[in-house]
Amino acid sequence: MIERGSGLAPRSPAEPVPSNALPASRGKPAPTGFRGRYILAGLLCLMLGIAHAEETLRVSSQKNSLQVLLQAAGELEDVPYPLEFAAFGAAAPTAEALAAGAVDIGTLGTAPFVFATAAGAGLKTVGVVRLQVTPTAVAIVVPDSSPLTDAASLVGRRITTTRGSIGHYLALAALRASGHKGRDATFVFLQPGESRSLLANGGADAWATWDPYTSMVQLEGGTRVLVSGEGLFAGNMLLVANPAAIRDKPAQLRDFLHRVGRAWDWANAHVEQFSAIQARQSGLPLEVHLRSNRYSQPRRVAVDDALVRDLADTARLYRDEGVIGPGFVAEQQVDRQFNEAPEVQ
C-alpha cells in the first residue's frame, strides 16, 4: 500500500465566495414611558430575528458545484440570509473543513462520509441527493491497451485512487465481488489529478474514480471502463453538516436544503442549458457534463432507511478491509429533522 500523507489528507485552500448579504438595520431614538417599553421589546424581538436571519451559512462543495447549480437555477436570489461558498478539490479537505467548523454544510459521497466520521469528524447527514448510477458515475478505468479484462484481473496490480473516496470503495467492492480482498492488489493513494497522471504515465494499472473524471478520460480517448459502479454503488450523495450548524442555524439549513432540491429539479428539466453553464464554469468540454447529466438525474430525497443501510454496508466493507475501526453506527450519523421541513419565510 502506498500513500501520501495520513488522516483526512492535507487541507486544500478554500476559495470563499460571498453570495449575498442583507442591508444593515438603521437605529432610531429610543421611545420612553410604559408604551415605549412595549415598543422597545418589539424592536428587540425584530432585531433578534434579523440577526438570526442574517447569520451567514457557509457552504462547501467540490469545484464550486453547489454554487454553480444554485446560481443556474436562480436559487441564489432572495435568500433571507448571507451565503458564503468555499471550493475544494476533493472530499477529504471538504470533510476537514466541515469538522473544523470552517464551513457549515457541504457535499460528500457515502464512502468519504463514513471514512471521515469513523475518524472522529463528528458530522451528520442532513440531506440526500440520489442519482441513477451510470456506467461512468463511479468506475475503474484502464488504458485501452491494458490486458486487464475484469475485476479479478486486478489481483496483483497497482490501483490508484483517493483513500476513503467512492473510488476506493468501488475498488474494494469490485475485488470482494470477484472473491478477493483489497490486500490482493496494491493501492496507490493520491488526489484525482495525480492519479490521472500516474495512470497516463504507466505508474498504475487502473484508476478508480468518479465523474467528471471518468467522463473526461473517456472523451479524451485512450482509456476504457474496466469495472462500472452500477450495482456496486447506491448513488447517494450526502449533504453533511457539523453539530454547531445543526444547533445554531437550523432555519438556514432547512431553507438551503429546499433550494438544493428545487435546483436539481430545474437542472433535470434543463439538461442542455445547465450543462452549458457547467462547461463554461469548469472549462471542460460540454459533452463531459451532458454525458453525466442526461442519465444521472439527481434528485433530493429524504434521509431514509435506504440511506442508513447504505452507510452501514459501506462501513462494514471498510471495517472488514481495515480502512476504519469498529464503532461506526449508521443511524447515529444522520439527522432526519430536516426531512420535509418548512422553508424560511
pLDDT tens-place string over residues 299-311:
999 999 999 999 9
Q: Classify residue 319 as exposed, middle or buried by CB count within 10 Å of its CB (0-12, 13-18, 19+).
A: middle
**Nearest by Cα to 210 from 135, 144, 276:** 135
- Average the pLDDT over 33-52 and give the result: 36
Identify whether residues 176 and 274 lie together within a single domain: no
**Residue 202, all three cell numbers:** 504507466
Residue 44: pLDDT above 50?
no
Looking at residue 175, its pLDDT comes to: 97
| Nearest CA among 272, 267, 282, 292 for reference residue 215 | 292
**For residue 33, what pLDDT band results from cuts at 50, 70 and 90?**
very low
C-alpha cell at position 250: 437550523
On whether both 275 and 331 belong to a single domain, the answer is yes
Residue 88 lies in a domain: yes
* Domain count along the chain: 2
Cell for 115?
471514512
- State whether 24 and 123 are in the same domain: yes
Q: Do both 125 and 251 map to the same domain?
A: yes
Cα distance between residue 290 and residue 261, in whole Å: 20
Indicate whether 295 pLDDT > 60: yes
Q: Single out the residue in 200, 228, 256 at which a domain terminates.
A: 228
How many CB atoms within 10 Å of residue 220? 12
Whether the per-residue pLDDT at 139 is higher than 60: the answer is: yes
Instruction: Examine the domain organization and report whether 186 and 254 are in the same domain.
Output: no
Q: Verify that 149 and 262 share a domain, yes or no.
A: no
Residues 214 and 240 in one domain: no
pTM: 0.79
Q: How far apart are CA 293 and CA 132, in angstroms?
A: 10
What are the residues whose beta carbons fall under 8 Å from the beta carbon of 212, sequence distance 6 or more? Answer: 282, 284, 288, 289, 292
Q: What is the pLDDT of residues 196-254, one digit of tens each?
A: 999 999 999 999 998 878 878 877 889 999 999 888 888 999 999 999 999 999 999 99
Last residue of a domain, one of 228, 260, 286: 228
Q: Would you place residue 153 in the very low, low, confident or very high pLDDT band (cuts 50, 70, 90)?
A: very high
The per-residue pLDDT for range 255-267, each reduced to its tens digit, is 999 999 999 999 9
Residue 1 included in any domain: no
Residue 245 lies in a domain: yes
DSSP 86: E
End residue of a domain, out of 168, 202, 228: 228
| Statement to judge: residues 260 and 330 lie in one domain | yes
End-to-end CA distance of the chain: 52
- CA-CA-CA-CA dihedral for 50, 51, 53, 54, to nearest 10: 110
Question: Could you tell me if 30 and 42 are in contact, meaning their C-beta atoms sit under 8 angstroms apart?
Answer: no
> 127 and 141, same structural domain?
no
For helices 192-200 and 213-220, the axis angle rounded to 10 degrees is 30
Q: Are residues 112 and 246 in the same domain?
A: yes
* Strands of the 2-3 sheet, one edge to the other: 2-3, 186-189, 158-161, 206-210, 138-143, 223-228
In a domain, 343, yes or no: no
Quick: pLDDT tens for 319-333: 999 999 999 999 999
CA geometry: angle at 26 spanning 23 and 103, to 5°? 40
- What is the pLDDT, as a whole number, of residue 283? 82
Q: Which three cell numbers stand for residue 101?
A: 467548523
pLDDT of residue 102: 95
Q: Is residue 5 part of a domain?
A: no
pLDDT range class, residue 2, cuts 50, 70, 90: low
**10, part of any domain:** no
Regarding whether 177 and 81 lie in a shared domain, the answer is: no
The range of the structural domain enclosing residue 305 comes to 17-28+32-131+235-338
> Does residue 122 form part of some domain?
yes
Closest CA to 260 of 86, 101, 127, 95: 127
Alpha-carbon torsion, ordered 343, 54, 25, 16, to 10 deg: -130
**What CATH number is attached to the domain comprising 170?**
3.40.190.10
What percent of the chain clears pLDDT 90, i.e. is strictly above it?
A: 65
8 in any annotated domain: no
Please confirm whether the linkage preceding 31 is cis (ω < 30° from 0).
no
pLDDT band at 144 (very low <50, low <70, confident <90, very high): very high
Annotate 285-310 with b (16+ C-beta within 10 A) or e (fewer): eeebbbbbbeebebebeebeeebbeb
- Using DSSP's 3-state secondary structure scheme, residue 182 falls into helix
Same domain, 260 and 298: yes
Name the residue with cell 430575528: 49
The pLDDT value recorded for residue 221 is 86
What beta strand segments (E) does the chain contain?
2-3, 17-20, 57-62, 83-88, 105-109, 124-130, 138-143, 158-161, 186-189, 206-210, 223-228, 236-241, 299-301
